[in-house]
Amino acid sequence: MSEIIKKLFIAATVLAAAACTGRTQDPSETVRMKFNEDGTFKILQVTDVHVDWDCPEEYEKVYNQLCDMLDSGRPDLAVLTGDIVTESAGGETPWEKYLVPFDERKVPFVLTFGNHDRENVLMDTRMAELVKAHPSCANILKDGYIDDNAVEIMSSDGSKVAAVVYVMDSGDYSVIPGIGNYGWIAPSQMRWYDQLSKAYRKANAGCPVPSYMFMHIPFNEFNEAWETGCEIGDRGERECPGTLNSGMLALIKANADVHGVFVGHDHDNDYVADAYGVGMVYGRFSGGATTSTHSKTGMRFIELKQGDYGFHTWVRERNGDITMDHCYNPGIDYSLHKACKAEGRQNGALLGWYDGAESLEAMYGMEVEKEIVPMPRHECRHFDGPHGFSYESFIYIPETGLWRFRTGERRNGCIKIDDVVLATDYDTNVTDINLEKGFHKLDAKAWVKGPRSDFKLTWMPPSSDRLRDVPEEYFFVK
């Protein structure tokens, strides 16, 4: 696929996501950045500054701290995860002044509001105007509001999207009658992320693109992550998520692309923990000492490495000390990704037609032309008489166990996996086989007496009780 076609394909899939969800990520406005020549990309997380214009001494501290973090850490991107300006004093001035260091140093930033930002006297749309007025702002506005954003980080040579940074608005307080407490990610936002995630995967030969998610309010699973999977850091207060669990982590796990969720909100927490193979990470409180019991304010840095999963993170404190230096490696298996990078491998299967074949056995001696198709499925094709067809591919098996395969119609045929012939029942076309997790050679042949045929392959994973379509992303040819 040429680079021009690849970029057009990504744009089309992103627009399709917008059409399906009602949320936008116009490719013409999509912010794109690049990994550095050494393959690294550094993100600065700023959270819970709580700028208070009535306290000039505290404001000077947080302003100078931001300048120092930008100068000493030299990030490629800054993400502000809410509760930035939380006092009405000063009106528009705090938004105009506090973000100036990004403009002066030409460091792009994106931000999402926190619950306290919206307690300001300014309307959301006015705050959005003030933020967007900064030349270094990489946020996208929709109908005057700051919208969720997917920042694409291109590979160092600019050839593909190598990572995605999702910045999402977790709301402020519950909008459901009878349910109090803080907000959470809404269903429309989940659909937006899901469609984009799948679009990036499809454009990346069926492999999940390493992704990282930033928001203000933590998931419910942060509490469990601390109890069972804390790796480094402190918990100075109980987590304060929304009352309801939106299911966002389950969706992240299903898409297998997000390796870290970075939040703020709870000032006295700064830990890195694990929840089912996803990093649950608090940023270091970045505000003045009067709004937190944390004795050492600072900011979190996150370094990504092109082609790797997980992340390297550390906290730089106001006095310059670097603490909690930690490398997080997710528990997700990426055998599929590694296989995709093998030279000459591409998504699909080799389809061959055997016009005039008198039997299944006769097909093995026939020479036919084969074509690469995107998945092991084809629609009806008409022939004058008996014929056969075959599929050759490498199929990825995501878990070890007993797998059941079924073809779509009754016919004479067989399926080979790793050159082992599986017995096929004529009435149901069902075959069972124990398979190890990983890639296996697949060879499927079928012979048809009549003039037309179609083919569909489904499977039943060991952990399921029903047949499902085999995902097209799980088939590769060399």
Boundary-marking domain end, from 309, 332, 355: 332
Considering the domain architecture, whether residues 350 and 278 belong to the same structural domain is answered as no
Q: Domain check: are 382 and 308 in the same one?
A: no
pLDDT tens, position by position, 4-13: 444 444 444 4
Is pLDDT at 423 greater than 60 in this prediction? no
Quick one: average pLDDT of 341-352? 73
Q: Is the pLDDT of residue 461 over 90?
A: no
Indicate the range of 100-114, 216-230, 367-381 predicted with least confidence. Answer: 367-381
CATH of the domain at 34: 3.60.21.10
In a domain, 337, yes or no: no
HEC sequence for the chain: CCHHHHHHHHHHHHHHHHHHHCCCCCCCCCCEEECCCCCEEEEEEEECCCECCCCHHHHHHHHHHHHHHHHHHCCCEEEEECCCECCCCCCCHHHHHHCHHHHHHCCCEEEECCCCHHHCCCCHHHHHHHHHCCCCECCCEECCEECCEEEEEECCCCCCEEEEEEECCCCCECCCCCCCEECCCCHHHHHHHHHHHHHHHHHCCCCCCCEEEECCCCCCHHHHHHHHHEEECCECCCCCCECCCCCHHHHHHHHCCEEEEEECCCCCECCEEEECCEEEEECCECCCHHHCCCCCCEEEEEEEECCCCCEEEEEEECCCCEEEEEEECCCCCCHHHHHHCCCCCEECEEEEEEECCCCHHHHCCCCCCEEEECCCEEEEEECCCCEEEEEEEEEEECCCEEEEEEECCCCEEEEEECCEEECCCCCCCEEEEEECCEEEEEEEEEEECCCEEEEEEEEECCCCCCCEECCHHHEEEC
Do 375 and 279 share a structural domain?
no
User: Does residue 290 have a pLDDT over 80?
Assistant: no
Per-residue pLDDT at 34: 94
304 & 378 share domain: no
Query: Is 340 domain-assigned?
Result: no
pLDDT surpassing 90 at residue 272? yes
387 and 271 within one domain: no
Instruction: Note whether residue 398 is domain-resident.
Output: yes
* Same domain? 324 vs 366: no
Tell me the residue range of the domain where 143 lies.
3-332
Give the domain-ending residue among 332, 363, 379: 332
Within this chain, do residues 88 and 231 fall inside the same structural domain, yes or no?
yes
Split into its structural domains, the chain has a count of 2
pLDDT at 225 over 90: no
| In a domain? residue 66 | yes
Identify whether 33 is part of a domain. yes
- CATH code, domain with 439: 3.90.182.10
Residue 301 shares a structural domain with residue 373: no
- The reply to whether 355 and 325 lie within a common domain is no
Domain match, 244 and 368 both: no
| One domain, residues 408 and 302 | no
Regarding whether 414 and 310 lie in a shared domain, the answer is no
In a domain, 443, yes or no: yes
Global pTM?
0.68
Residue 341 lies in a domain: no
The answer as to whether 323 is a domain residue is: yes
